[in-house]
Amino acid sequence: MRFIAIADTHLGFEAGKTSAARKYIYERMFNAFEEISQIAKEKNVDYLLHGGDIFNRSKPRKKVVKRTYEIIQDLLEADIGFLVAPGNHERSKLPATLLRYHPKSHFFFAMTSVDFDVCTIVGFPFEPNLGGATQTKLSNLVKQLDQKSCLILCHQLFDGSEFGPHKFRFSITHGAIDPLLFPQNVKLIVTGHIHRAQALMNGFVVYPGSTERTSFVEVIEPKGFLLMDIDSNSLSVKFNKLNSTKMDVMEINLLQQELDIGELSNKIERGFVRTLLRFTGRALTTSEFETIKNEFPNNDYPLLTVSPKFPKQVLKPLYEKNMLPFNFPDIIKNF
């Protein structure tokens, strides 16, 4: 069987200072999802797996829900199945739809399993504190499958997952789950929640990552999907890139260089380019802050974010010129 795994599409997400900018970002989020659905058809995928946070909020607008479910319906009509584990942005549930009753779709509103010839997929919605009772229930469910190879689909934080320019690492002390607690017949965990695509524990846990950048901490991260080929004996997982929205970060330490508005104007692009202009070292004076505000009007720079948002705030450096590189290894393993 062939699967595509994605997560964190955050459909309905908007950003920007003008209605045109917000519409641009809104469309970019949908474009990524629509592109993946088209790729699923071209690559003869059997099922599309979604690791949660389809929507950007728990009560999305009707037009967002309608467009999203139309894309899913189109997949089902093309004989491509759809499985989803709702995430935290959806508060572990999704808007009502008859699509959940389609024979090739499954919305994991509770912990349950879907059986295939090559494996069984066990899914469950996001839980903020995945306690011992839930882990015991999961272990018991997996053990009841007569040692058949299992894949987990969820939206959780796992020990060793990383995010941000400096690869901050979550651990059990942060509430992350220890993957070693899962039974041996669990061969792969596909999970959303962290927007950086990554593989943990030699590919035992994989995050497809978000399909589009939503935050400036994702500036170095390519976005895409996981293409997974599975048979009764082996598993292959490969990361495939999508063309993502351009995003620039300019961090200026005012203790090391003077504020040069003219130079900044030459460097910062106008139009629909998500740009973060961040000042560190010392606080901006009220005069400097107003000058920057006047130099970069909203209509010309609708996706420009200036930080700090107020004068007299002092920020510490967050970004480096040489941030750690991104790498997602291809995974090939025997069951």
The two beta strands, 304-307 and 274-280, are: parallel
pLDDT at 71 (0 to 100): 98
pLDDT at 131 (0 to 100): 66
Compute the average pLDDT of residues 19-29. Answer: 97
What pairs with residue 107 in β-bridges?
84
pLDDT at 324 (0 to 100): 72
DSSP 206-228: EE---SS--SGGGTT--EEEEEE
Q: What is the pTM of this model?
A: 0.94
Compute the average pLDDT of residues 141-160. Answer: 88
Three-state secondary structure along 121-190? Answer: EEECCCCCCCCHHHHHHHHHHHHCCCCCCEEEEEECCECCCEECCCCEECCHHHCCECHHHCCCCEEEEE
Compute the average pLDDT of residues 140-164. Answer: 88
What does the alpha-carbon distance between residue 282 and residue 264 come to, in Å, rounded to a whole number? 18
Domain 2-245 in CATH 3.60.21.10: yes
pLDDT at 169 (0 to 100): 94
Q: Tens digit of pLDDT for each residue in 275-307? A: 999 999 999 999 999 999 999 999 999 999 999
What does the alpha-carbon distance between residue 268 and residue 305 come to, in Å, rounded to a whole number? 11
Q: What percent of the chain has pLDDT over 90?
A: 79
Q: Could you give the C-alpha distances from 299 to 9, 20, 124, in angstroms and in order?
A: 27, 9, 44
Nearest to 329 by CA among 236, 195, 246: 236
- The single residue listed with the structure tokens 């200026």 is 252
Compute the average pLDDT of residues 105-123. Answer: 94
Kindly report the number of other CB atoms within 10 A of residue 235's CB atom. 20
| In the chain, domain spans | 2-245, 247-307
Strands (E) in the chain, as ranges, are 2-6, 47-50, 81-84, 105-107, 112-115, 120-123, 150-155, 162-163, 168-169, 186-192, 198-200, 205-207, 223-230, 234-242, 247-253, 274-280, 304-307, 331-334
Compute the average pLDDT of residues 147-165. Answer: 91
pLDDT at 264 (0 to 100): 94
Quick check: 132 pLDDT over 70? no
- The single residue listed with the structure tokens 């090939």 is 332
